[in-house]
Amino acid sequence: MASKMTPVPTPETKPYWNGCAAGELRIQRCTDCGKPYFYPRPICPSCGSTSVEWFTASGKATLYSYVINHRPAPGFDEEAPYAIAVVQLAEGPRMMTNLVGVPNTPEALVLDMPLRVTFEQRGDVSLPVFTPEEA
């Protein structure tokens, strides 16, 4: 059985992964236009500035969109079906993630439901996943 894929941190993403290891969701913000963004990159996607900083996000989000995958990917055999979700962070950016602590059914996955970040260890990295806020 194949094992789950694990991300490989790069110099640009190292602060993000260090935050995850510390139990913090760190994202970037442009110091010129003030807009926060995700995924990590050295240039603001809104204004093109290279004046960016890392900050710790609140970890709160809402469910923006999802798909329930019924065909397991390699390494995910025991987890099908599972939800692949896009969450809207309270700070504004959206990110793709997985949902935990909730049944993977359309009845349970209500759009705009409040979520909070939690972290799941996978190999040498800690991945941010989201769970219902009341869980």
**Residue 46: other Cβ atoms inside 10 A:** 13
* Cα–Cα distance, 66 to 78 (Å, whole number): 20
Q: What is the pLDDT of residues 5-21, one digit of tens each?
A: 788 888 999 999 999 99
* Cα–Cα distance, 107 to 104 (Å, whole number): 8
Which one, of 108, 14, 131, 8, lies nearest residue 61 by Cα? 131
Residue 73: what residue type? A
Containing structural domain, residue 44: 14-132
pTM given for the model: 0.89
Whether residue 66 lies inside any domain: the answer is: yes
Most confident residue range from 38-47, 77-86, 126-135: 38-47
Q: What is the pLDDT of residues 96-127, one digit of tens each?
A: 999 999 999 999 999 999 999 999 998 889 99
Whether residue 117 lies inside any domain: the answer is: yes
pLDDT of residue 2: 47
Which one, of 73, 123, 90, lies nearest residue 98 by Cα? 73
Structural domains counted in the chain: 1
Whether residue 9 lies inside any domain: the answer is: no
Whether residue 114 lies inside any domain: the answer is: yes
Whether residue 71 lies inside any domain: the answer is: yes
Whether residue 6 lies inside any domain: the answer is: no
